[in-house]
Structure 1
């Protein structure tokens, strides 16, 4: 299903930097919701990730002031409760039109709840039933599933093990959005963003480079943030590169928060391509802040990766007119794009590589990749990241 709410921020010239109080409010506001259960965790985060500010008590990241205000727009009530599976009663499964998928419905403490995202399958995986359940539901055998589930719930070994059930409220209705281990450390979106700002403020201070919070996408459970160095570096005639970091985080227990190096190539006509490289640091939701801080020592490698990326980008034939052989190579690469990339995206990209029209218009590599970028940006953020990494690999084929 779609997110209940999604807000997006894109940097505009003259957007302001945040001060220390505004950054600290990320954790302070979060602590008021979950106090006192997470006060120790948040104190450890502050201790291990101090915010580095300038003489005006501000971080050297443009755009942080308006971006942080967006966090307050996600005001859905969230609740985490430790439960055993048997505490979910009156379980049922219903089709959710217009999709062909099913969600689970149940009661807890006399409250009616339904699942969203992947919570249904996560619950059923507790009984090793997820794939079998979907088969039964799609073949009108819901009664068989309910009977099977009832039998398994009577098995003490399976049903007594507790976990953290993450609930969210929307329009007065309760939803189960995730089930996570009791080792889960709750680096939710405000906490992950705080850690990112702390790490980049330290890097910015060490290497005397200002950053821009260029793009932020925030939903009720997901976070995507692009941090970019302010000053572009020339790589060719009328072509520049800016490097930075992209943070992705989830509150659904489906992986660690990830920091990857990314870059934007632009020409004087504002044609551009976004590339993405490997993960450089992460926030593992099972680790304590001190261990995560050790992972962030890898940010010192950002300068080396940045230099390597710039040298590699300088070797690409950006201004060379594309030949028929070049287009055949790109067509081959597009044809081998696999799931989860949507078929429509592949088709739109393939249409761009029509040999005759492209050759007649004397396209350069950057202009063609800019057209690809216009389709990629219309996809959800996860697909964008997949394609940005793929385009980055493709560029190596077009060295001078």
Structure 2
């Protein structure tokens, strides 16, 4: 069961378990929500996804130092700090809607903090709008797209519509333009259409492999629909996909820069360092084996792509794969990595 609970900070308590896991307790439930939804007067919930980080960020940016304090054994201090922060916030001045999940075992989970204007563009709607948008382009622009891949990891979904025909780029290989359609039930931008590319490289046994890369820069975003948008607005915005042709040409020109790369081991080292320092949960859990794959020298573009591709294959987490797609783009195209804005919150 999923429901939204409106509460201010006076009806909440925060604490950590013996395993340092963060918990949040809602009090006075009978005053906050109808009794037919929640039978208990209070319940304890466990934050999921980025909800913990979003909550701590709203409490004087506690997310920036909470993890380090816990790691150094200061759990009691952090709990006392949360109590002090709660006491200095005026009543009714920190009121929000909290997306709560209740499972069959009567366990509660905090999925997200949502707004009053929230529209639920769920996975079914994402698939529908994605198909409508791409089919419109196929009809108007005589474009040929196929569904290359489908990823699902509650609470979001990603669909990859790739051009059927690849473009040969000298010094790089075959490249296919991709429109990635993604939905995130939690984040502000519920539904996004983003341009990306698959670099196709050969294997020694003749099997083709693909390296998926995309930029986190605004110019590669085709359109986005927020949770606050009405369904009518969402449908109308699909016409913004018309710009994909201009972006496709720009992406191909950008990919040509990869062929100018002279220091292949330097690119590999950039990726190695970023993985080594990453806080992305999907990367952290596989860090050792990922770094092992990047230990060997690379003297050809094929070997570089093969090493990066192997790392991508080893990462199963959808957030981890997205982290790599951004990382690879910056390393290959810009030959430098000086931004952390594509790190996924713990």
With normalisation by structure 2, the TM-score equals 0.71
C-alpha separation between the residues in 1 aligned to 2:65 and 2:328?
A: 38
**Which of the residues 185, 190, 197 maps onto 1:263?**
197
* Residue equivalent to 1:116: 47
Task: Give me the whole-angstrom Cα distance separating, in 2, the residues matched to 1:389 and 1:87.
Answer: 40
1:288 aligns with 2:230: yes
The equivalent position to 2:110 in structure 1, one of 176, 183, 207, is 176
- The aligned residue for residue 8 of structure 2 is 85
1:226 match:
160
1:140 and 2:76 are equivalent in the alignment: yes
**Is 1:103 matched with 2:23?**
yes
**In 2, Cα distance between equivalents of 1:354 and 1:378:** 17
| 1:392 equivalent in structure 2 | 329
- Report the Cα distance in structure 2 between the residues aligned to 1:329 and 1:285, rounded to whole angstroms: 41
Q: Is the counterpart of residue 209 in structure 1 residue 140 in structure 2?
A: no
CA–CA distance in 1 between the matches of 2:307 and 2:244?
A: 29
- Alpha-carbon distance, 1:368 to partner: 2.4
Q: CA RMSD in A?
A: 3.7
Q: How does 1:223-262 map onto structure 2 within 5 Å?
A: 223-235=157-169, 239-253=173-187, 255-262=189-196
Q: CA deviation at 1:239?
A: 4.3
Displacement of 1:114 in angstroms is 0.6
- C-alpha deviation, 1:132, in angstroms: 9.5
What's the CA shift string for 1:319-372, capped at 9, x where partnerless?
xxx9xx6334324433552534646659735753533xx45xxxx313421221
Cα displacement (A) at 1:374: 1.9
The structure with the larger Rg is: 1
Where structure 2 has 5 or more consecutive residues not aligned to the other structure, the ranges are: 31-39, 336-346
Displacement after TM superposition at 1:178 (Å): 1.2
| Structure 1 position 265, deviation (Å) | 2.2
Structure 1 residue runs of 5 or longer lacking an equivalent are 1-76
The alignment partner of 1:304 has SS state of: helix
Distance in 2 of aligned mates of 1:93 and 1:281: 40
Aligned 1:1-400 pairs, distance under 5 A: 77-81=1-5, 83-85=6-8, 88=11, 91-95=13-17, 97=19, 100-107=20-27, 108-109=29-30, 110=40, 112-117=43-48, 118-123=50-55, 128=60, 130-131=62-63, 134=66, 138-141=74-77, 144-145=80-81, 147-148=83-84, 151-152=87-88, 155-158=90-93, 161=95, 163-172=96-105, 173-235=107-169, 239-253=173-187, 255-268=189-202, 269=206, 270-277=208-215, 278-293=220-235, 295-313=237-255, 316-317=258-259, 326-334=263-271, 337=274, 339-340=278-279, 342=283, 345=287, 348=290, 351-352=293-294, 354-355=296-297, 358-359=298-299, 364-379=300-315, 380-396=317-333
> What whole-Å deviation, never above 9, does each CA across 1:6-57 have from its counterpart, x for those lacking one?
xxxxxxxxxxxxxxxxxxxxxxxxxxxxxxxxxxxxxxxxxxxxxxxxxxxx
CA distance in structure 2 between the partners assigned to 1:263 and 1:385 by the alignment: 13
2:170–2:259 CA contact under 8 A, matched in 1 = no
Matched-pair contact (CA < 8 Å) for 1:113–1:176: no
Residues in 2 aligned to 1:222 and 1:368: alpha-carbon distance in whole angstroms: 31
Change (3 A) 1:179 1:96: farther
Q: Is the 8 A contact 2:9 2:86 kept in 1?
A: no
Structure-1-length-normalised TM-score: 0.63
